Structure 1
């Protein structure tokens, strides 16, 4: 069931998804042990959901790539200034 609010946990997961370079499948990320506890937990949740290959980052899975694309598209929409009508 979709949630109507972005919880702090979901926001952290979206932040992690926003770190991935979507132009290549050969580039992953690493969430280091000195990262914030929120980032470490978010990476683990993304791994548990099957979106990334390792619990500390790694690469996007196929589903993860799709989710990251949506997250990054949303960010682009929200930060882009409205064009004159």
Structure 2
């Protein structure tokens, strides 16, 4: 299994959600990149969000967004702590 461009776009959308406020959703406007618009629709089709243009996270979506955001934190910390020239 590998990270495809579609999966990366979905992770980018999941990273947009504010996990500190479950009452706050997102809206991916039609003027956003076609990749993000399509990613938002796929997340809806996978039942991770309640609207095809973002909306609110479902329970499963909340879990996915938490894991995606944790992964970003881990990878960003690891990137900053690498020795120069590694």
TM-score (norm 2): 0.90
> Aligned residues, how many?
80
- Structure 2 unaligned blocks of 5 or more: none
- Structure 1 unaligned blocks of 5 or more: none
Output the aligned Cα RMSD. 1.2
Shift of 1:36: 0.6
Higher helix share: 2
Structure 1 consecutive aligned stretches of length 4 or more whose deviation exceeds 4 Å: none
SS in 2 for 1:50: coil
Would you say 1:26 and 2:16 are equivalent positions? no
Would you say 1:69 and 2:56 are equivalent positions? no
- For residues 22 and 66 of structure 2, the distance between their equivalents in structure 1, rounded to whole angstroms, comes to 13
